[in-house]
Amino acid sequence: MLANLRQVRMLSAVFFIISALFRLLSFFYYDEIIKVPNYDSYSIINWIQMGGTFFFFMSSSLTLKVYKDNRFLKKSIPILFVILLLLTSFSASYTVSMDNTKNTLTLFFIGITTVSLFFALEYLEITFIAIFITLVYWLSMISAKISFDQKMINLFAGLILGFVLHCFSRYSYFFKSQHFVRLKQLEEKNLEVEKLHAQQGDILAFVAHDLRNPLNNIEALSTMLYDENPKEELKHILNASQQAKNIINDLMEAIKTDRSKLDTQSLNLNSFLMMTVEKWKTNSKRDLILHVDDDKIYAHANASKLERVLDNLISNAIKFSSDDKIINISLRKIAKRIEIKVKDDGIGIPKELLSYIFQQFSQAGRRGLHGEKSIGLGLHISQKIMQQHGGELLVESEENKGTTFTVLFP
């Protein structure tokens, strides 16, 4: 009903402008136009159309803004406008045809097509309109100075026009209603997905939070026991607890990245990258080379989030390249964007897995060269963080030739 009202407002405005332009032309070229056959009839139709379309424009606009919940107005205004549209198009057609309704029906067909295309009328509504316009068509023959044969032809023509109007409208209504139902179903599905996603996040957050305490206890106790008696079994327990904690941290980060707003500050990326690389050199004992321009590069970024991205990328470079391979990290400014590259000469990523690596719980997750496990969250989190920064995370890789991750942001 609201869609029909909007169509009334739009079409009434269009037809008012058209009829007003014709009226203006009649003022400028009055001497020529007055000589047109049946000028008085055209003039009356024009005034009716101008007044009617102006009334329907105002009433539909008012209903949409003020009386949006009035069901009677929402149903009656489109029906009355459709009747006006059909009557004015029929009157114009009838006048052009010199009172013989079967001769010139082009304008009437335009009216019927307009009603069918623009309005979604229910079965009883369009049936009433079709019967009404057919009766008007037949009644117009009473005053027409035509033979009995012509009247019989007009009788059948009226039936056909009413039938065409009804069929066209029902056909159009079917597709519009199907489209409407599909849109509503899609909206409902989206709401369900959002609700399930929120529930999933709440469950993950709850589970992850409650698992932290026992894991912290296991890690602390296994560390104490391992310091006193460094057995291999205790080392396995310690490593397993640390790995479980890392998985929980990834889950928590994934939940927070989806929901949290990004707080940024002006960050000196030159010194920030130097500190990050030095940290990894100390902890991993790997050869990392940093290439930084002499000019200081600043960006509005969240330091802890950006560090998380770099940690994920450097960790992957270490995980998937042998100990003797150098990892290159570079920083440069290109136009209005900042580019950070993390490049390794490791085992690379197979071509068939490249399209999956940024997915949550990605099936592209693989064990590292030293048996390190992955649950496929690191790159997903990194990509989300870069999107929050208004940037992106790109990858170039060739199997057995290495991988380059590129961080781009304003």
CATH of the domain spanning 265-409? 3.30.565.10
When the pLDDT of each residue in the chain is averaged and rounded to a whole number, the result is: 82
Q: Is the pLDDT of residue 140 over 70?
A: yes
Summarised one tens digit per residue, pLDDT across range 325-354 is 899 999 998 888 899 999 999 998 888 888
Instruction: Give the pLDDT of residue 247.
Output: 74
In whole angstroms, give the CA distance from residue 36 to residue 22: 14
Decide: 159 and 42 in contact? Cβ < 8 Å: no
Q: Is the pLDDT of residue 286 over 60?
A: yes
More confident residue, 362 or 282: 282
Summarised one tens digit per residue, pLDDT across range 352-409 is 888 888 887 666 566 666 666 666 678 888 888 898 888 999 999 988 889 999 999 8
For the chain, the 3-state helix, strand and coil shares in percent, each to the nearest 5, are: 65, 10, 25
Residue 11 exposed, middle or buried by CB count within 10 Å (0-12, 13-18, 19+): buried
Q: Within its chain, how far is the Cα of 302 from the centroid?
A: 28
Q: Is the pLDDT of residue 54 over 90?
A: yes
- What residue ranges of the chain are covered by domains with CATH 3.30.565.10? 265-409
pTM (2 d.p.):
0.51
Q: Which amino acid is at 98?
A: M
Q: Is the pLDDT of residue 256 over 70?
A: no
Buried b (16+ CB within 10 A) or exposed e, 102-112: beebebbeebb
